[in-house]
Amino acid sequence: MSVEASNILPVALPSRSFAEGNSFENYTARIFGWGLRSSARKEIIFFFSVQPIYFKITTASAIFSDILQTAESMVINNTVCEDIYELFVPYVTPLKLCLDNSGLSGACIGDAGGPIVTPRPEDGKFVLIGTISFSAGPCGYEMPVIAARLSLYLDWIGFYADVAIDD
């Protein structure tokens, strides 16, 4: 089945040699999602800073993007996420990636499941390294993003998608 079109292209899976054992720390990553629009992010930051963390999906549904958004982020050391998410330390495992979410450009509410890609050093081709899981803070504001690390699932993906994973 082909999913290619003028505006849709598949992303490459990383080779085992690139992905396995690579922390991706200090790699620039590009994230994608259908979450809150950037124009709505200031409203959400204000909402979260003044009131308890409380969010009605029906209220915010009108401000979710109907256009795929993208932002750059930096993969940071998992110990940063462990320190910040002390209550969730068992959740911040080697199966996860930790991404810097500072500034007003980053993962937001509704972006969970979105891909995280990074260019391979040898040729600049983008490869999938993870998917967005969650952030406890408002959009692009102080709290890092926790993501599922793809490299530990390469065999599973290869088996169920019936694709060969390069060594």
pLDDT in tens, 15-53: 999 998 999 999 999 999 888 765 555 555 444 444 444
Q: For 60, left (φ over 0), alpha (ψ -120 to 50), or beta?
A: alpha
* 140 has a pLDDT exceeding 80: no
pLDDT confidence of residue 47: 44
Torsion of CA 104, 109, 112, 118, to 10 degrees: -10
More confident residue, 52 or 149: 149
The CA distances from residue 125 to 117, 128, 157, in Å, are: 10, 10, 20
**Most trustworthy range by pLDDT among 53-57, 140-144, 158-162:** 158-162
Residue 16 confidence (pLDDT): 93
- If you average pLDDT over residues 129-158, what whole number do you get? 85
105-to-4, 81, 116, 123, 153 alpha-carbon distances in Å: 28, 18, 14, 26, 28
Question: What is the C-alpha to C-alpha distance for residues 139 and 107, in angstroms, rounded to an integer?
Answer: 6
Per DSSP, helices labelled H in the chain are: 16-19, 38-50, 57-60, 78-84, 154-161
CATH domain 16-161 topology:
Thrombin, subunit H (2.40.10)
pLDDT of residue 10: 82
* Residue 4: other Cβ atoms inside 10 A: 8
Contact 140, 69 (CB under 8 A): no
Tokens of 123: 């040729």
Which of the four pLDDT bands, split at 50, 70 and 90, describes residue 114? very high
pLDDT at 164: 93
- Angle at Cα 4 formed by Cα 148 and Cα 163, nearest 5°? 55
Check residue 45 and give its pLDDT. 46
The whole-model pTM stands at: 0.80
The tokens for 14 are 């990383």
User: If you average pLDDT over residues 67-88, what whole number do you get?
Assistant: 86
The two structure tokens encoding residue 158 = 């290869």
Shortest CA distance to 145 belongs to which of 105, 18, 162? 105
